[in-house]
Amino acid sequence: MNEPKEQHRYCDIQSLNDPHSTLKKFYTVNPIFICVISYTETSEIPGITMAGANSELVKYTSAADSEFLYYGRCKCINNVPATPDGKPTPGLITRSALQLSDIPFLVVDAGSKIKPSIPFISFSVKPGENIRSGNAVCFNDVKKLYDYGFTLGVQLAKTNDLVVVGESIAGGTTTALGVMIALGIDAKFKVSSSMPQNPHHLKNSVISEAMERSMVFFGDLRDEPFKAISLFGDPMMPSVAGIASGVIKSGSRIMLAGGTQMAAVAAILNSLHLPLDNISIGTTCYVAEDCFSNLVELVRSVSNDIPIYSCNLHLAESVKPGLQAFARGYVKEGVGAGGISIASMIKSNGRINGTVLLKAIELEYENVIEKVLLK
Amino acid sequence: MNEPKEQHRYCDIQSLNDPHSTLKKFYTVNPIFICVISYTETSEIPGITMAGANSELVKYTSAADSEFLYYGRCKCINNVPATPDGKPTPGLITRSALQLSDIPFLVVDAGSKIKPSIPFISFSVKPGENIRSGNAVCFNDVKKLYDYGFTLGVQLAKTNDLVVVGESIAGGTTTALGVMIALGIDAKFKVSSSMPQNPHHLKNSVISEAMERSMVFFGDLRDEPFKAISLFGDPMMPSVAGIASGVIKSGSRIMLAGGTQMAAVAAILNSLHLPLDNISIGTTCYVAEDCFSNLVELVRSVSNDIPIYSCNLHLAESVKPGLQAFARGYVKEGVGAGGISIASMIKSNGRINGTVLLKAIELEYENVIEKVLLK
């Protein structure tokens, strides 16, 4: 009688492709969160990203995000991680969820341009290049990043029953688009964006250009995911794919925390013929319900066996316009915000829900962002 | 009736300063091992260390050790981690214990000179300098390393009930001597050595010289441990001290895995007025029973509340002369070998003991060292 009903306990999590069974079976006792930070010069193409106010600042984004996760402030930039009108980094959500749930986390640096002032796991690689003008990541680095990720994933799986992996890489949906098309997934007009006006045409033309230059066309690299990453991807992808494969080969479970970029990682894992049953995707409802992208269809094109969980953080109801903006198509997701929110709900057996999280996020917003911006 | 007796269950662990109670209370369900690799140019003083065959090779020691832990072979050197006559790195013991017990591990790079080809946690600091010719570590770096260690320790404590921290830094007993003397611990002729002929007089004279240059004398820095490290220490010390303090402040337990270098870390923690009740030291019997050093007395000078556990790995009974050498005063300890052996015994509830470990170590020795050296 006292047992809350399943749908009540996880009232703010929705299982998008399998509403009946996977969420009920989902549990976690000792999850860990890994945030993979990276960089691709593709983000410097004007108009491609809003993660970072301008192309000079965008290279600080992932370092600033990871410093913010640890300290609640940034060290590499002399400012708060928000746009001048108060739209914050999604890391604000991530930090709130981590603090509420006491889930441990580590940052992996896979080619960020600016190194954060925190203890981070180094994958010793340089930033990704602009796919419009050359190859994305040298092939040996792709293999190395996958191997390093695998090595780390094996260690993490020894004590953690769930590894939640998020990312911070600006311009990452464009490289995701490129890799998915090369792997034979019809991803045009389906990848997400940090902006309400998703620049699909710009992204499509960047990818078309890159593919023509390489003489690679739709589905050509279906069985060569590392080559696809090397040509059109970024250093985040093989790192997250490697962590995921190390974790699942060791018998633990992985949640890919993010939007359509994680669909690309799922496609890579599928192309590597890895078993997909211990993989899920966790994201925010702002990506999942976005009309200008289609996460569910992208993941279904990879496999019907990968559950997608989406969480409602009630940001539309926030008293803060900067947070409401997430529900109006800005930012939407990133730094694993959606996945770690879901993990915190499940770990706490529903004690943490979207409303509880919203309060914590608003408090953090007041203390961290408003205090500085309103000064 | 079927319950094995305490002394039988942990037949190869000895509690050196408190034989009756601490070992019985000791348990661990999900320990993690952290190996802090570092470098001090003090190791380049001729005659001061055997860790690495010569001063050119010594800078590869800690990178080679950590590659060996992950892969069972080294990448940064084109050779096995052993002296030409077959005395292996203590990392051979560490690797065997980690594999038997399935304890996860991560490597922290705190100023190693050569970076290992593994995913490592970077503390973003340069190697330590030769204390004979100048300051050891710049003061701001000491603080930073302690802070980074603390930050990491807090995360580790969230899922791990025991954090075992070992080190790989050549020349580290000399810097340990310097720091302990500055903190008011009479450590002369008590620090250990990787060689049977412990070069005490050389170490003492290096420290005397460094102290005179700095106008700092016995006990002067009793309340300034960071200054003591900055003048006479190395980058490993504040890193390990920081991890330890993060772990114990978060309510978990730490085992300092090593010999007299860890007595210096204990002295630093005591000088920082940290509670010592969740700290222990774990080492091999080859350090604990060494006639040319005195770990027990060093630790007692710090506090009577820090248990010292020592394990017998039965290397004297090995069929391999290279392993027997440990019992004849060579190598003795390092890369957390003793501590992680103890943790593996306790985690396995005694299923792993010194005899089981010896077999695994000998097998590893055959596969890794002999196969190459006997070629």
- pLDDT tens per residue across span B50-71: 765 566 789 999 999 999 999 9
Asked if A103 is an interface residue toward chain B (Cβ–Cβ < 8 A), one would say yes
Q: Which of A56, A16, A30, A43 is nearest to A261 (CA)?
A: A43
Strand partners, A280: A255
Asked if residue A248 lies in contact with residue A273, where contact means CB atoms within 8 angstroms, the answer is no
Residue B5 to residues A365, B9, B10, B14, B26, Cα–Cα distance (Å):
57, 6, 9, 14, 14
Of B117, B119, B159, which is closest to A32 when you measure between CB atoms? Answer: B159
**Position B8 pLDDT exceeds 80:** no
pLDDT tens-digit series, residues B183-199: 999 999 999 999 999 99
User: 3-class DSSP state for residue A308?
Assistant: strand
Q: What is the pLDDT of residue A51?
A: 61
Q: What is the pLDDT of residue A24?
A: 84
Element housing B201 (H / E): helix B200-214
Rounded to a whole number of angstroms, the distance from the CA of B309 to the nearest CA of chain A is 24
Q: Which of B343, B354, B351 is nearest to B162 (CA)?
A: B343
Residue with the bigger pLDDT between B21 and B353: it is: B353
Residue pairs between chains A and B whose CB atoms are closer than 8 Å: 62
CB contact under 8 A, B124 and A115: yes
CB contact under 8 A, A159 and B158: no
pLDDT tens-digit series, residues B330-362: 999 999 999 999 999 999 999 999 999 999 999
Q: Which of A119, A259, A274 is nearest to A194 (CA)?
A: A259
Structure tokens at B204: 């003492």
Residue B117 to residues A123, A126, A362, B68, B278, Cα–Cα distance (Å):
9, 14, 42, 10, 33
> Rounded CA gap, B136 and B234, in Å?
6
Residue of A nearest to B150 (CA): A119
CB contact under 8 A, B155 and A104: yes
Residues in CB range of A137: below 8 A, 6 or more apart: A111, A125, A128, A129, A145, A229, A230, A233, A234, A235, A238
Interface test with A, best of B106, B141, B159 (most A CBs within 10 A): B159
Q: Which of B6, B92, B13, B9 is nearest to B312 (CA)?
A: B13
Residue of B nearest to A117 (CA): B124
> Rounded CA gap, B198 and B68, in Å?
27
Of B104, B115, B117, which is closest to A159 when you measure between CB atoms? Answer: B104
Residue of A nearest to B162 (CA): A159
Q: What is the pLDDT of residue A19?
A: 62
Structure tokens at B93: 């013991």
Strand partners, B162: B31, B253
Q: Which of B222, B175, B191 is nearest to B296 (CA)?
A: B191
Q: What percent of chain B has pLDDT over 70?
A: 96
User: 3-class DSSP state for residue A162?
Assistant: strand
Q: What is the pLDDT of residue B1?
A: 42
Q: What is the pLDDT of residue A1?
A: 43
The reply to whether the predicted model has a pTM over 0.80 is: yes
Q: What is the pLDDT of residue A108?
A: 98
Chain A residues touching residue B105 (CB < 8 angstroms): 155
Q: Which long-range contacts (CB under 8 A, 24 or more apart) does A205-211 make?
A: A206/A42, A206/A45, A206/A48, A206/A131, A206/A132, A206/A174, A206/A178, A207/A131, A207/A174, A207/A177, A207/A178, A207/A181, A207/A232, A209/A132, A210/A131, A210/A132, A210/A178, A211/A178, A211/A181, A211/A182
User: 3-class DSSP state for residue B45?
Assistant: coil
Residue B1 to residues B4, B5, B26, B161, Cα–Cα distance (Å):
8, 9, 21, 29
Tell how far CA B11 is from the center of its chain: 23
Q: What is the pLDDT of residue B340?
A: 98
The number of residues in chain A equals: 375
> Rounded CA gap, B171 and B167, in Å?
12
C-beta neighbour count of A298 within 10 angstroms: 27
In the block, which residue shows the tokens 């190459």?
Answer: B372
Rounded to a whole number of angstroms, the distance from the CA of A18 to the nearest CA of chain B is 31
DSSP letter at B88 equals: B
Asked if A152 is an interface residue toward chain B (Cβ–Cβ < 8 A), one would say yes
Chain A residues touching residue B159 (CB < 8 angstroms): 30, 32, 104, 159-160
pLDDT tens-digit series, residues B123-163: 999 999 999 999 999 999 999 999 999 999 999 999 999 99
CB contact under 8 A, B119 and A32: no
Asked if A115 is an interface residue toward chain B (Cβ–Cβ < 8 A), one would say yes
Asked if residue B243 lies in contact with residue B163, where contact means CB atoms within 8 angstroms, the answer is yes
Residue of A nearest to B104 (CA): A155
Residue of A nearest to B103 (CA): A158
Residue B197 to residues A144, A320, B187, B293, Cα–Cα distance (Å):
43, 70, 17, 11
Residue of B nearest to A158 (CA): B104
Asked if residue B87 lies in contact with residue B330, where contact means CB atoms within 8 angstroms, the answer is yes
Asked if A140 is an interface residue toward chain B (Cβ–Cβ < 8 A), one would say no
CB contact under 8 A, A121 and B117: no
Q: Which of B233, B210, B198 is nearest to B331 (CA)?
A: B198
Interface test with A, best of B34, B103, B118 (most A CBs within 10 A): B118
**Position B2 pLDDT exceeds 60:** no
Asked if B140 is an interface residue toward chain A (Cβ–Cβ < 8 A), one would say no
CB contact under 8 A, A122 and B123: no
Residues in CB range of A130: below 8 A, 6 or more apart: A40, A41, A42, A44, A45
Q: Which of A166, A177, A195 is nearest to A53 (CA)?
A: A195
Residue A250 to residues A149, A157, B163, Cα–Cα distance (Å):
13, 6, 21
In B60-86, which positions are buried (b, 16+ CB within 10 angstroms) versus exposed (e)? Answer: bbbbbbbbbbbeeebebbeebbbbeeb
CB contact under 8 A, B155 and A120: no
Q: What is the pLDDT of residue A53?
A: 53
Residue of B nearest to A31 (CA): B159
Structure tokens at A225: 């995911």
Q: Which of B301, B324, B317 is nearest to B354 (CA)?
A: B317
Rounded to a whole number of angstroms, the distance from the CA of B164 to the nearest CA of chain A is 14
Rounded to a whole number of angstroms, the distance from the CA of A347 to the nearest CA of chain B is 13
Rounded to a whole number of angstroms, the distance from the CA of A179 to the nearest CA of chain B is 25
> Rounded CA gap, B177 and B324, in Å?
27
Q: What is the pLDDT of residue B51?
A: 61
Q: 3-state SS of A172-215?
A: HHHHHHHHHHHCCCCCCCCCCCCCCCCCHHHHHHHHHHHHHHHC
Chain A residues touching residue B123 (CB < 8 angstroms): 119
**Position B20 pLDDT exceeds 70:** no
> Rounded CA gap, A29 and A11, in Å?
19
**Position B29 pLDDT exceeds 70:** yes
Chain A residues touching residue B340 (CB < 8 angstroms): none
In the block, which residue shows the tokens 């630093």?
Answer: B268
Residue of A nearest to B148 (CA): A119
Asked if residue A274 lies in contact with residue A184, where contact means CB atoms within 8 angstroms, the answer is no
Of B70, B102, B158, which is closest to A158 when you measure between CB atoms? Answer: B102
Element housing A109 (H / E): strand A105-109
CB contact under 8 A, B158 and A102: yes
Residue of A nearest to B149 (CA): A119
pLDDT tens-digit series, residues B264-277: 999 999 999 999 99
Interface test with B, best of A32, A67, A76, A121 (most B CBs within 10 A): A121
φ, ψ of residue A164 to 5 degrees: the values are -100, 120
CB contact under 8 A, B159 and A109: no
pLDDT in single tens digits along all 375 residues of chain A: 455 555 578 899 999 987 667 888 899 999 999 999 999 999 999 999 876 556 678 999 999 999 999 999 999 999 889 988 999 999 999 999 999 999 999 999 999 999 999 999 999 999 999 999 999 999 999 999 999 999 999 999 999 999 999 999 999 999 999 999 999 999 999 999 999 999 999 999 999 999 999 999 999 999 999 999 999 999 999 999 999 999 999 999 999 999 999 999 999 999 999 999 999 999 999 999 999 999 999 999 999 999 999 999 999 999 999 999 999 999 999 999 999 999 999 999 999 999 999 999 999 999 999 998 887
φ, ψ of residue B311 to 5 degrees: the values are -120, 145
Asked if B105 is an interface residue toward chain A (Cβ–Cβ < 8 A), one would say yes
Chain B residues touching residue A122 (CB < 8 angstroms): 109, 119-122
Structure tokens at A186: 């019809």
Asked if B65 is an interface residue toward chain A (Cβ–Cβ < 8 A), one would say no
Asked if residue A122 lies in contact with residue A235, where contact means CB atoms within 8 angstroms, the answer is no
Helices (H) and strands (E) in chain B — how many of each?
Answer: 16, 8
Strand boundaries in chain B, DSSP class E: 13-15, 31-37, 105-109, 120-122, 162-168, 253-257, 279-284, 308-311
CB contact under 8 A, B122 and A106: no
Of B102, B115, B121, which is closest to A119 when you measure between CB atoms? Answer: B121
Alpha helices by DSSP H, listed for chain A, are: 6-9, 22-25, 61-71, 91-101, 139-159, 172-182, 200-214, 225-232, 236-249, 260-271, 285-288, 295-302, 321-327, 337-347, 354-364, 371-373
φ, ψ of residue B61 to 5 degrees: the values are -50, -55
Mean pLDDT, all residues of chain B = 94
CB contact under 8 A, B159 and A155: no
CB contact under 8 A, A124 and B105: no
